[in-house]
Chains A and B, each alone.
Chain A
Amino acid sequence: DSGVTQTPKHLITATGQRVTLRCSPRSGDLSVYWYQQSLDQGLQFLIHYYNGEERAKGNILERFSAQQFPDLHSELNLSSLELGDSALYFCASSVVDFPTGELFFGEGSRLTVL
């Protein structure tokens, strides 16, 4: 158990819909990272927050947005869903601001768009 909690574990929805994925980092970790894992794209970095502030953006679509709340949990919002958004979405946390230390990953939220 990494200490990172992601909900929901599985989500099935239809094209055009909107979903919210939630992540609770390890106790004491200020950084939250979101990754998308799919068969064709592999593990893609989406976005990084540190103590409520956005620190870096990767290959995140404009239809996607995220935020980190004062209690440090984070949410990833995916809207106008397309079939290609079906993937495993991972959240990871760490103590420091830079990803030069260990990232602790949750078990992921599997999104299926029908």
Chain B
Amino acid sequence: AQSVTQLGSHVSVSEGALVLLRCNYSSSVPPYLFWYVQYPNQGLQLLLKYTSAATLVKGINGFEAEFKKSETSFHLTKPSAHMSDAAEYFCAVTLSGSARQLTFGSGTQLTVLP
């Protein structure tokens, strides 16, 4: 079975500070990993995805994530937070092969303080 755990349901950072949102996954086979963002009153939008091509994945809006197999982690980072980054962020996992579910974590609400 596949699952993801997001540590910290709420994260606050100051504008200009580093953003670090944590995600750990559990799967018995190499996973596909995703980060999605949800702005208020909107649907989810893909930030980036890992599909085994490279362990460091760059996404939109300056975000990136590093796949670490030894730590079963896929943490999301951004060097400098902007006010516009305030949103809810979801980590998600699916497996290759016969698995057909994209399983989402519980989400992390990011607040950016001026």
Residues of A bordering B, CB below 8 Å: 2, 4, 33, 35, 42-43, 45, 48, 55-56, 58, 90, 92, 98-103, 105-108
Contact = CB atoms under 8 A, between A and B. Distances in A.
Contact of B44 (A42, A45, A100, A105): A105
Interface residues of B, number: 22
Given A55-B100, A56-B100, A58-B101, A102 B44 contact: no
Contacts, number: 53
B41 interface: yes
Given A43-B90, A43-B107, A102 B100 contact: no
B51 to A, nearest CB: 7
Contacts of B96: 98, 100
Contact of B103 (A45, A48, A90, A102): A45
Contact of A102 (B49, B105, B106): B49
B25 interface: no
Contacts of B103: 45
